[in-house]
Each structure stands twice: as C-alpha cells, then as structure tokens.
Amino acid sequence: MQSKVSFQLVDTTMRDGEQTAGVVFSQEEKLQMAVKLDEAGIPWIEAGIPAMGRREQETLKEMLSLPLRATLIAWNRADEADIRASIACGFSHIHLSLPVSDLHIQFKLKKSREWVLERLQHILQFTKSFGCTVFVGAEDASRADPEFLLQYADVASRFGAERLRYADTVGCLDPFETFSRVNHLVSRSSLPVEFHGHNDFGLAAANTLSAFHAGAALASVTISGIGERAGNASLEEVVTSMSHLYRFSCGLQLPVLPELTHLLSRASGRPIQTYRSVMTAMNG
C-alpha cells in the first residue's frame, strides 16, 4: 500500500459535529475542545460558522485568541455576507462550500452548473481580496459528475484556492469507490484533496483510510464521529486504525484521545459509545 507522509487531519467537531440535530456546545466546552484537540496535535480545526450570528461570533473570537498551534478555519457558504462575518471575527483561513452534484444544483440551488462555476470564481476573488487562505468544499461530490468536479477543481485552483474538499455528503461510497474516485481526482487536479466522509452506512472510517491510500492529503474527522445523521468519520477510529494497521501516526498523541472522547460525551450529552469500535476498548 502506498503511504503518504504528509497526510493530515482536519477536525470538524465544532462545525459539522455541532450541526448534529439536538447538539449544542457551550462556549466553554468549545474552548476546552479546541485546547484539547491542539494538545492532541491536530493541525487544523474547523471552528464554526460565523454567519450563525453574534453569539457564535463571540465564541469564535475567543477561540481565535487562544494560544493554539493548530490553525482555525471558518466555514462559509459561497456568500459575501458569510465571508464578511468570518473576516470580522479575525479568521485568515476560510472554507467556502458549494454543491457540485446535479441533484443539489437543480433541487437545492435551482441553478445550473455554469452558475456554480461563476459563483465559485466570484466568491474566491472576493475572499482572496482580503488576503485570506481559502479552502473550497465540493458538497455532494460523491454523487457529482466526475468531469464536472474536475472543472470545479480547476476553477478553484485557478482562482487561488489551496485545497479541495471531496464531501461524501450522504455517505454513499464504499471503500473501493472512494479509492477510485479520490484517486481520479488526485491524479487529475493540482489541488491537495481533503476527504470528508459521512457514516450513513457505517463506512466513514474505512472510506477515510481508502482516501488516504488514494492520495488524499487530508481528511475531515470529528471526535467520536459525531455529526449529522449517523455522523462523520471518527477521529479515534481513523487515528488508531492507521496507527495499528499502517504504523502511521497522523502526528497525533494517542493518549489524549480518551480525554477528547470524554469531553465530547459531556458536551453533547451522549454517553460514551459502546459497540462502536475502539472507543469501547479505550473507555472500558
């Protein structure tokens, strides 16, 4: 198996994780999680959505003032007001997301593929004008036409994005599909690819490992796999399976993982998971 030494994790517990129906983290909990994730050695933290309003912005400003080694990223729709809110908080790393599947373009946006590409170009130019580092998300990439996804990646690259997130939004890939799709994208696009898996069929961790083999440079994870519906790829599962199966550390301190799991359990009000893999083993 191919090994990529540069593979890194992006924690999105406080963005995709908190979007879980019924879950709300307090400001204090978010700050604690950021500190602990940083201690574990996570290089990237997707911290939240400034466009959500004043209270969220206050929390995010607090988080930005913490002395962290990790880089904090703000999540945004491809919308000028969203970007302005993130800039106002003090973010220099901006993630902006647009859907790329025809299903989403037609039914959610009620627009065309051309509109998506134009919008991407416009919002990238707008965001770059603030001197930000910009990462681009491709929502529902796993159901998109791979050729259109390449066009999208090409526009993202030409207009200054530094990373492309391949989102398996509804968790519909198996590990073999993940490999071939991510491999195709990695070989044809100049941007580093981040894989973002969902766990609707219980395959998020396995798909993340496949993306690693396929040459993805990064992957999104959340503590204990918390996230919308059946959740995201679990930080603990991805890190421990890579460590165990490939002797690859992801640069993370494994002893911090149980503390993160407990922190998440308290903040989300959900008990430590039993019968979800390594978490049981870690927590008895």
> What is the contact surface with another protein in residues (CB under 8 A)?
1, 18-22, 24, 26, 52-53, 55, 77, 103-104, 107-108, 140, 169-177, 179, 199-203, 205-207, 209-210, 213, 225-231, 234, 237, 240-241, 244-245, 269-270, 273-278, 280-281
Cβ proximity to another protein: between 22 and 67 the closer is 22
In the chain, alpha helices (H): 27-40, 54-64, 80-89, 102-103, 113-128, 146-158, 175-188, 204-213, 235-246, 257-268, 278-283
* The dihedral sign for the CA sequence 257, 71, 233, 80: positive
Residue 244 CB contacts under 8 Å (≥ 6 apart), including other chains: none
Cβ proximity to another protein: between 19 and 32 the closer is 19
Q: How far is the CB of 22 from another protein (least distance, A)?
A: 5
CA distances from 48 to 19, 144, 226, 274, 276 (A): 10, 26, 15, 28, 26
Cβ proximity to another protein: between 53 and 125 the closer is 53
Q: CA-CA distance, 1 to 139, in Å (whole number)?
A: 28
Q: CA-CA distance, 151 to 260, in Å (whole number)?
A: 39
Q: How far is the CB of 189 from another protein (least distance, A)?
A: 23
Cβ proximity to another protein: between 70 and 209 the closer is 209
Q: How far is the CB of 274 from another protein (least distance, A)?
A: 8
Q: How far is the CB of 236 from another protein (least distance, A)?
A: 8
- The H helix count followed by the E strand count for the chain is 11, 8
Q: How far is the CB of 233 from another protein (least distance, A)?
A: 9
Cβ proximity to another protein: between 189 and 273 the closer is 273
